[in-house]
Amino acid sequence: MKTIVEIHALQNFAPSNLNRDDTGAPKDAFFGGTRRARISSQCLKRAIRTHFAGLVADQLLGCEDVACRTKRILDVLKALLVEKGRDEGEAAEKVRMALAAMELSIKEDGKSQYLLFLGHREISGIAEIIDSKWDSITPFEASPAEGKKTGKAKKQAASGADPELKKALDKIFDGGKALDVALFGRMLTDMPKKNQNAACQVAHAISTHAVEREFDFYTAVDDLKPEDNSGADMMGTVEFNSACFYRYALVGWDSLVKNLQGDTELAARALRAFLEGFVVTVPTGKQNTFAAHNPPEFVAISLRRNTAPRNLANAFETPVRVKANESLLAKSARKLCEKAEDLQKAYGGEEKVFVLNLVGENGAGFGNPVETLKDLLDKAVSAVRE
C-alpha cells in the first residue's frame, strides 16, 4: 500500500517580484478564466535546495547527503585528485578519459555538455576510482569516423576504454544517496539507466484571486552632481504584484525510500528537510527591492494511503473576492478546507492531517491543529514512519 505525504500552504506576499519571466515581469498564468500570479515549481525547488545547503552549513545534514548540479565536474574531480597528490595537468587528462569511458564528454572549455546532477558520494567515488586505476586509464580512440552523429561517436569512443574501469564507474552512478537527487530526480542523457525518477512533485504556486499588474516608477540621483543641476540621473520601472498563493507538493514515501537505497532513517531526514524547506524558504527574486519575507500562515500536511494525490487548486477556480475588512487569507483558508472535506467525502481513503493555522479560521474540522512548525514536522514525520 503506497504512502504519500502532501503539503498545502497559503502564503500572502506583500508587493514583490519573486519569480520573473524573460521580460522581468512577475510570472503569471490564467486559471479559472482570470489572470493569476504564479511562482514556478523550478523556482520553488531551487529555493528548497538552497535550504538544504543551509542545513549542511549548520551541520544538520552532512555534505555527503546532498548533490551538486554543475557543468564543471572536471574542475571538481581534478581538485580531489590533486588533494591525493596527483599532478594537476595529468589529473585533468585522466578525468577526461574516465568520463569518456562512460560516454560523458568534456568540451574544450572544460565543461560538460550539460548540467550533471551528481551526489557528493558519487563524485568522491569517481575520484577514488580514477586514483586507484590511475595507470590503467590510458588514451583510447576517441575520434569518431567522419559523419558519425554525436551519440554514436561517444559510444565508439567509450568502446575502447578499459572494461574494468567502466564496470567500476558504472557501480558508482547510483544517486549517491543524495537527498535532492532522490527527491527531485535527474536525467543523464548519455546514461539513461542511471536516471532517477523524482520521489516528489511540486506544483506551480498560483494566487487564490485574480491579480493586476502594477508598476513602480523609480529614479536615482547622482550624489556628486552640482547642486544647481536638477533632475534624476537614472529612471525606470519595476513590475510587481501582491498575491496570496496556494502552494502544493507531494512526496511518495515508498519512492523516496527506494531512491535512498532502503535507508529509512535517511529518508525520514530527507522528508523533514523537504517539508521544512517548503515552508520556510522564499524565492530571492527582487528581495533587496521589496523584502517580501512573509511566511505561510496556513500549512496542512496530510499523510494518505490507498488513494490518489489531491491538489486542492480547484478550491480557487472561482477567484476569491473579499469585501472591506475581510481577510483574503482567512477566506482562502475556508475555501481550501471546504474543498478538502468535499473530496475526502467523495473519494475516501486513509488520511491523517496536521494543520498549522494562524489565520483564525477553524478549518471546518479539517485536520488536527498544531501550534508550531516543529510540532507540525514532528507529527507528520512520526506518522509516516509508523
Set of cell numbers at residue 127: 575520484
pLDDT digits (tens, 9 = 90+) for 14-51: 999 999 998 889 999 999 999 999 999 999 999 999 99
pLDDT of residue 145: 46
Check residue 34 and report its DSSP letter: E
pLDDT in tens, 164-197: 888 888 899 888 899 999 999 999 888 888 899 9
Is residue 25 packed enough to be buried (19+ CB in 10 Å), middle (13-18) or exposed (0-12)?
A: middle
pLDDT tens string 73-87: 999 999 999 999 998
Look at residue 138 in the predicted model and tell me its pLDDT: 80
Q: CA-to-CA distance for 224 and 232, rounded, in angstroms?
A: 12
Q: Is the pLDDT of residue 320 over 70?
A: yes
Per-residue confidence band for 163, with pLDDT thresholds at 50, 70 and 90? confident
Q: Which residues contact 71 (CB under 8 A, 6 or more apart)?
A: 111, 112, 113, 114, 115, 116
Task: Tell how far CA 41 is from the center of its chain.
Answer: 8
Length of the chain: 386
Least confident of 50-54, 222-226, 281-285: 222-226
- For residues 281 and 205, give the distance between their C-alpha atoms in angstroms, rounded to a whole number: 13
pLDDT for the residue 11:
96
Q: Which residues pair with 10 in a beta bridge?
A: 246, 298
Average pLDDT over residues 339-352: 91
Q: Which residue has the higher pLDDT, 9 or 233?
A: 9
357 burial (CB, 10 Å; 0-12 / 13-18 / 19+) is buried
The grid coordinates listed for 166 are 567502466
What does pTM read for this prediction?
0.90
| Mean per-residue pLDDT of the chain | 89
Distance (Å, rounded) from C-alpha 94 to C-alpha 98?
6
The helix (run of H) or strand (run of E) holding residue 376 is: helix 373-385
Q: Which pLDDT band holds residue 103 (cuts at 50, 70, 90)?
A: confident
**Position 146 confidence tier, pLDDT thresholds 50, 70, 90:** very low
Which residues, 6 or more positions from 328, have their beta carbon under 8 angstroms from its beta carbon? 12, 208, 209, 244, 320, 322
Give the pLDDT score at 147. 46
Identify the bridge partners of residue 243 per DSSP, sorted by sequence position.
Answer: 13
Quote the pLDDT of residue 362.
61
- Rg over alpha carbons for the chain, rounded to the nearest Å, is 25
Question: What is the Cα–Cα distance from 81 to 74, expressed in whole angstroms?
Answer: 11
Residue 153 has pLDDT above 50, yes or no: yes
- Which has the closest alpha carbon to 189: 86, 103, 300? 103
* Nearest Cα residue to 10 out of 365, 368, 361: 361
Whether residue 258 has pLDDT greater than 60: yes
Cα 45–chain centre separation? 2
